[in-house]
């Protein structure tokens, strides 16, 4: 079958790999003019994602992730209040993205091209790509939390704001004296205050290096934010444009960066505030919950965050994208003729599977005093 994928991030790449492996003709259209780089921070690599990468990309755990040995909680003065074993491997969005891109056959990704619409009939789907029309059998919407294709399918649906934000940043391990960061190395370190949760852990270097001294610290600072004016101000970039849910590194307004640094100096343990103050390009993400009314409409299927956006505390975003891709390929063998029926069955099954994840996120957030329940 001819499969068009809108969006060349993790979900789109994973789907392209699985569908290509079983013989489908796959093309990804990514609106960014160049390969994505430095778009995300750290990600937890869970079993399903590791199995997927090893099956399709021949990457093993020690090639793309930094080991984490302890989960340590510290108080405002930096004293350890809880210390327990932790074996969760942390990678980076860049490392996972690169491994997927490198495994796809050449020419599958078309940069600087946007899927702008579609019309479908009993025999197929006409996909609008800028001013071009392409006839396909299936269109996959992998265009993220703010999916324009989901909005086209379900115009009355909108994701719901969870009541808190995440300040985020990445900073080089080499920027610090070894003694100043010794307690953070290969640990997941956290600090909790009313309505706030800060965490930090190591991820690979931008080029994938895992050598000590070349790696990067990834940090996240969750903070409750219920004031709509303040939220709008944080989501307004340097050019004055208001974003729906996030602002990429380097695009935060000077006012937001100043606010972040002041809060870090006033509220965080010094071992954490040093990370924030040294970060050259912090970014921000408003936390949303999204569960599309359906994952399929005819020959259009939603995958990744376009279908369902779960809270980051579940550490399952990449694994969910991989599971979407694998299950979709299993539902669409190369000789399938009843495409619409197969997609509908896949949608019902996947929607049921992700419901528990969607419920788990708010429960975890509530234990940290963050946001509001679904």
Chain segment 94-103, per-residue pLDDT in tens: 888 888 888 8
Mean pLDDT estimate for the chain: 90
Q: Which residue has the higher pLDDT, 121 or 210?
A: 121
Q: Is the pLDDT of residue 30 over 70?
A: yes
Q: Is the pLDDT of residue 374 over 60?
A: no
Note the residue count of the chain.
374
Q: Where are the domains of the chain?
A: 2-61+94-159+289-367, 68-89+161-288
* pLDDT value of position 360: 86
Q: Strands 216-224 and 196-203, how do they pair?
A: antiparallel
Question: Distances from the Cα of 248 to the Cαs of 36, 41, 239, 276, 349, in angstroms?
Answer: 12, 10, 13, 16, 33
How many of the other CB atoms lie within 10 Å of CB of 38? 15
How many of the other CB atoms lie within 10 Å of CB of 170? 24
pLDDT tens-digit readout, 101-153? 888 888 999 999 999 999 999 999 999 999 899 999 999 999 988 899 999 99
Give the mean model confidence (pLDDT) for residues 45-52: 66
How far is residue 124's CA from residue 122's CA, in Å, rounded to a whole number? 6
How many of the other CB atoms lie within 10 Å of CB of 156? 6
- Among residues 155, 167, 138, 186, which one has the least CA distance to residue 298? 138
How far is residue 69's CA from residue 91's CA, in Å, rounded to a whole number? 14
Q: Strands 196-203 and 187-193, how do they pair?
A: antiparallel
Determine contact, residues 260/186, Cβ cutoff 8 Å: no
Q: Strands 132-136 and 124-129, how do they pair?
A: antiparallel
Q: Is the pLDDT of residue 71 over 70?
A: yes
CATH number given to 2-61+94-159+289-367: 3.50.50.60
Residue 115 carries which DSSP code? E
- DSSP for 203-252 reads E--TT---STTT-EEEEEEEEE---HHHHHHHTBBTTSPBPSSEE-TT-B
Helical ranges in the chain per DSSP H? 10-21, 47-56, 61-64, 93-103, 148-153, 178-181, 228-234, 254-267, 270-278, 317-331, 339-367
The separation between CA 111 and the C-alpha centre of its own chain, rounded to angstroms, equals: 20
Q: Which residue has the higher pLDDT, 170 or 209?
A: 170
* pLDDT value of position 46: 56
Tokens of residue 285, six digits = 């993400």
Q: Is the pLDDT of residue 315 over 80?
A: no
How far is residue 43's CA from residue 206's CA, in Å, rounded to a whole number? 13
Give the mean model confidence (pLDDT) for residues 150-162: 94
How far is residue 304's CA from residue 310's CA, in Å, rounded to a whole number? 10
CATH number given to 68-89+161-288: 3.30.9.60
Least confident of 151-160, 203-212, 329-338: 203-212
How far is residue 41's CA from residue 171's CA, in Å, rounded to a whole number? 10
Q: Is the pLDDT of residue 60 over 60?
A: no
Determine contact, residues 188/71, Cβ cutoff 8 Å: yes
Backbone angles phi, psi at 14, to 5 degrees: -60, -45
**Which residues touch 173 (CB under 8 Å, ≥6 apart)?**
181, 185, 202, 212, 213, 214, 215, 216, 217
Q: Is the pLDDT of residue 59 over 60?
A: no
How far is residue 254's CA from residue 234's CA, in Å, rounded to a whole number? 10
E strand residue ranges, 124-215: 124-129, 132-136, 138-141, 160-172, 187-193, 196-203
pLDDT tier for residue 53 given thresholds of 50, 70 and 90: low
Q: Is the pLDDT of residue 16 over 70?
A: yes
Indicate the SS3 state at residue 10: helix
Tokens of residue 269, six digits = 């343990």
pLDDT tier for residue 176 given thresholds of 50, 70 and 90: very high
């Amino acid at each position: 079958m001819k499969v068009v994928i809108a969006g060349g991030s993790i979900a789109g790449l994973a789907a392209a790999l699985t569908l290509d492996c079983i013989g489908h003709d796959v093309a990804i259209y990514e609106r960014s003019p160049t390969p994505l780089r430095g778009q995300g921070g750290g990600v937890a690599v869970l079993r399903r994602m590791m199995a997927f990468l090893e099956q399709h990309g021949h990457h093993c755990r020690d090639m793309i992730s930094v080991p984490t040995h302890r989960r340590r909680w510290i108080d405002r003065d930096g004293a350890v209040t809880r210390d327990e074993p932790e074996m969760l491997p942390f990678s980076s969005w860049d490392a996972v993205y690169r491994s997927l891109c490198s495994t796809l056959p050449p020419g599958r990704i078309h940069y600087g091209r946007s899927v702008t619409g579609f019309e479908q009939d009993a025999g197929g789907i006409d996909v609008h790509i800028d001013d071009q029309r392409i006839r396909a059998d299936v269109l996959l919407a992998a265009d993220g939390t703010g999916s324009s294709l989901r909005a086209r399918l379900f115009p009355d649906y909108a994701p719901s704001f969870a009541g808190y934000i995440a300040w985020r940043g990445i900073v080089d391990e080499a920027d610090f004296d070894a003694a100043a960061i010794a307690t953070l190395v290969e640990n997941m370190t956290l600090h909790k205050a009313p309505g706030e949760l800060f965490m930090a852990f190591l991820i690979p270097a931008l080029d994938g290096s895992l050598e000590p001294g070349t790696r990067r610290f990834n940090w996240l600072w969750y903070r409750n934010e219920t004031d709509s004016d303040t939220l709008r101000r944080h989501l307004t970039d340097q050019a004055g444009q208001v974003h729906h849910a996030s602002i990429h590194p380097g695009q935060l307004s000077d006012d937001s960066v100043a606010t972040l640094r002041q809060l870090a100096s006033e509220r965080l343990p010094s071992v954490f505030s040093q990370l924030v103050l040294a970060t050259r390009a912090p970014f921000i993400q408003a936390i949303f919950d999204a569960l599309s009314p359906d994952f399929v409409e005819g020959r259009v299927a939603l995958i990744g965050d376009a279908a369902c956006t779960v809270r980051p505390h579940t550490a399952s975003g990449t694994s969910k994208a991989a599971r979407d891709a694998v299950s979709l390929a299993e539902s669409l063998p190369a000789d399938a003729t009843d495409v619409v029926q197969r997609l509908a069955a896949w949608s019902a099954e996947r929607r049921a599977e992700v419901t528990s994840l969607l419920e788990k996120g708010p429960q975890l957030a509530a234990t940290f005093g963050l946001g509001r329940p679904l």
